[in-house]
Amino acid sequence: MKILADAHIPYLQGVAEQFGEVTYLPGNEFTKETVKDNDVLIVRTVTYFDEKILAGSNVKLICSATIGFDHIDTHYCEENNIAWRTAPGCNASSVEQYVTTSIVRMAQKYNFELKDKTVGIVGVGNVGKKVARACQVLGMRVLLNDPPRQEIENSDEFVDLATIQREADIITFHTPLTKTGEHPTYHLADDTFFNCLSKKPIIINSSRGAVVSNEALKSALRKGEVMGAIIDTWENEPNIDLQLLRLVDIATPHIAGYSADGKWNATKMSLETINKFFKLNKDPIELLPIVEPDKTVINLSQYSNEEQLAKALLYSYDPCEDSASLKESPNKFYYFRSHYPLRREYKAYTIENANKKTAVLVKELGFDIK
């Protein structure tokens, strides 16, 4: 079996070889020529896989080490007997960590209490559910919007988008990018969306760039229709809108899901897919260990009761560091994604000397408690 894998997918080199001959290339070097002789592709979202790149190839399976599939022409693949698989939920906890810590940073910047705020979550799948739970732990009122789920489940836990536009102080998007169907999400947040806001909410997009119209968001920020914005996913990546970059509070290079844990999960799921698809019966599948952070203990003894929760969260990850790097060097968008440093999720850290209330909250979020 011949496998072509994105060289920037971690925890893969040295273990994918258990299935065959593996070639590693940067994602932007996947071309018709480099792809054609391979049976399996292990990819990220850098290249769009359609007829132009797949026609005449030996490819039988595309494993995307991501949760989305808008970088795959699924119709072409299905018409040409090319299977495709994603890694649903692999980085849900990573995106939740990104959103939660970003909200904490915005509360510090704009001097508000989270318990006084309502968050509207648009898209309540693997990621949205984790974000909802974290926001509840932080004491926020949570509104859920997911029309496809609401239709299937007929549940009163969901609200319509108009309710979120009317009541939410923070609106965070966690939908796939779709242009067809009954509930398309392409430019879901457009000029009309922003013009109908009752409050001046903070907008967060860590789903797909085109779910939020970048032009409409720029206009809303300039007109004061929104308080601020946190943007991880952009239209036209890596050639992002520099005007929007300057306007938003936190700007990152599509790395919300890039925790080491999320990447490890995605690699594991891709390897499991190959094993199952080709009926290789590898048991157990070889996997590499996740690298531990240099300091795994978070000592909160020096912080006041009011500071402890925020300090613990921001110790695990501070999005402002990634934002500063991108704002300083936006031309390095792809480089920042491809050379992302180690980031571990809450479970990698042990909390010491937390007060009783903080101890309960951080444990619910996933930290270990000593």
Contact by Cβ (8 Å): 173, 211: yes
Residues 6+ positions from 50 with CB-CB distance below 8 Å: 72, 73, 76
Measure CA of the first residue to CA of the last residue in the chain; give whole Å: 48
Q: What is the pLDDT of residue 45?
A: 81
Q: Of 316, 323, 362, which Cα lies nearest the Cα of 101?
A: 316
Contact by Cβ (8 Å): 126, 89: yes
Q: What is the pLDDT of residue 46?
A: 81
CA distance 159 to 73: 32
Domain boundaries, the chain: 2-86+259-277, 92-251, 297-369
**Across-strand partners of 40?**
3, 61
List strands edge to edge, sheet with 297-299: 297-299, 350-352, 368-369
Q: Topology of 92-251 in CATH?
A: Rossmann fold (3.40.50)
Q: What is the pLDDT of residue 272?
A: 97
CATH of 2-86+259-277, one of 3.50.50.60, 3.40.50.720, 3.40.50.1000, 1.10.10.10: 3.40.50.720
Q: What is the pLDDT of residue 68?
A: 80
Q: What is the pLDDT of residue 300?
A: 98
Q: Of 272, 327, 236, 250, which Cα lies nearest the Cα of 18?
A: 272
CA distance 39 to 20: 10
Residues 6+ positions from 330 with CB-CB distance below 8 Å: 240, 242, 245
Q: Which segments in the chain show pLDDT lower than 50?
A: none
Do 297-369 and 2-86+259-277 fall under one CATH topology?
no
Active site residues: 208, 237, 254
Q: Topology of 297-369 in CATH?
A: Ribosomal Protein S8; Chain: A, domain 1 (3.30.1370)
Contact by Cβ (8 Å): 170, 200: no
Question: Does 238 sit behind a cis peptide bond, omega within 30 degrees of 0 on the bond before it?
Answer: yes
